[in-house]
Amino acid sequence: MTLDFSMPILVVDDYQTMIRILRNLLKQIGFREIDDAPDGSTALTRLRSRPYGLVITDWNMQPMTGYELLRHARAEETLRTTPFIMVTAESKMENVIAAKNAGANNYIVKPFTLHTLRAKIEAVLAR
């Protein structure tokens, strides 16, 4: 499958080191246009101002979690189909199910590898 490496991606995490890690992994995969946000509220504002081809968001953040961000995005007509990958350190099955039910396209449990990230992105964008 061929990925569109020019599509903009939004990385959302309140931990700056994780943003840096994700940014570096995405660049290794070949993506060039990567924006970031420190929380769901900021991310929602960015999503409303620019179309993104993919959102990769952490689950646990304040004041708005990645899960809440996803629910808000799915409630808005213009954001309803934006692909979302949830990232979390928690592998609880109920979280995975909640994310899927809220409209997440995929789910990654930390820690993960470049190969895992690429496979999850390909699975989401192949749809």
Kindly give the residue spans of alpha helices, DSSP state H, lying in 3-113. 16-29, 40-49, 66-75, 93-102
CA distances from 126 to 3, 80, 83, 120, 123 (A): 9, 17, 11, 10, 5
How far is Cα 104 from Cα 67, in angstroms, rounded to an integer? 9
For residue 91, the model assigns a pLDDT of 76
Relative to beta strand 84-88, strand 54-58 is parallel
Whole-prediction pTM value?
0.95
- Please list the ranges in the chain whose pLDDT falls under 70: 1, 127
pLDDT at 2: 77
Domains recognised in the chain with CATH numbers: 9-125 (3.40.50.2300)
